[in-house]
Amino acid sequence: MAQFYPTNGKTDSMADRRGTRNFDRAALLAAIPLIAVLPLWAVAMVPFWLALNLVVEISYFAAAGIYVVAGLALFVPVVQRVVLTRLIGARRPTAEEAPRLQRAFNEVAQALHVRDRGFALGVVDADAVNAFASGGHLVVVTSYAARHLDHDALCGVIAHEFCHHLGSHTIALTVQQWLMLPVTTLARLGAYLRNVALAASDTFARSSGPARRVGRVIAGIFNGLSWFFEIGSVASHALSNVVGRSAEFRADQRVISMGYGRQLAEALRRTTPRNDQRSSRWSRWSRLLETHPPARTRIARIEGTLRRRRR
């Protein structure tokens, strides 16, 4: 079971407004895709409620309410380390990664005057510089960033994810991801049952034209079910990305105000070549699937803000 590397108690001193959470404009905008996904989630819960009703008699609204309450438990730090680690695929830092991550984490947490002991660090295996915040306390970096970024750049990355938490950018996104689980499950289940129906009709109904046609119709129904929820999932993801880009810029500006703008720009430069190549190759519609704004744009904004502050 993947577990996160909890921070030590050195991060909760010198508390002031720097480490105070608030709901900024980006956090409020993040509620838009959450609200948009509610009808799709309500439809996706119907099959699960019907299956549950075979075991225990329960109303649809009670089942939906229990699911929502279970999602709110994801904001409990202990639950985040047990459940979200499985969903994200994160792990504990290795012996090589842990000292570098903990040193950068402690420095940033002290600079931001973070008081909450519940924050934790985790690592996902990926050959790229990236990081993300999840739940209310998790800061996750890629194994490449943990091993190859220097200390200053690593501080910039962790400070950016901290600022997502302090701006409450992750709350609506985490709830939305929880609500999307039944949707993505039905999309995959529909595709699987479609393949099963096609295989069964081709194998067992090969000599019977009517039976084969029935099998094709059943496969078509499952295919339509899969596409319905798959399209809804992609649309929700795209809307989250569009809204989420404002959160990235907002967190960048907060990082600058905390004194880590130069360090963050240094880390972003490590992602620029790949980002530029992808941006020139992908269409405008394809970029809807991008979770972050182009690195060049973010670097330009950060450096522009730093120049204005120096003047």
Tell me: the pLDDT tens digits for 71-105?
A: 888 888 888 777 777 777 888 899 999 999 999 99
For range 242-269, the mean pLDDT: 90
Instruction: Give the mean model confidence (pLDDT) for residues 222-244.
Output: 86
- 228 versus 272: the higher-pLDDT residue is 228
pLDDT digits (tens, 9 = 90+) for 284-309: 545 555 667 888 999 999 999 999 98
pLDDT, greater one: 233 or 88: 233
Least confident of 41-45, 46-50, 111-115, 171-175: 111-115
- Tell me the backbone φ, ψ of residue 58, rounded to 5 degrees: -150, 145
Tell me: pLDDT of 12 over 50: no
Identify which of 143, 179, 152 has the alpha carbon closest to the alpha carbon of residue 70: 179
CB-based contact 44:63 (threshold 8 Å)? no
Higher local confidence (pLDDT), 33 or 5: 33
Q: 5-6 and 120-124 as β-strands: parallel, antiparallel, unpaired?
A: antiparallel
Share of the chain above pLDDT 90, in %: 37
Entry pTM: 0.79
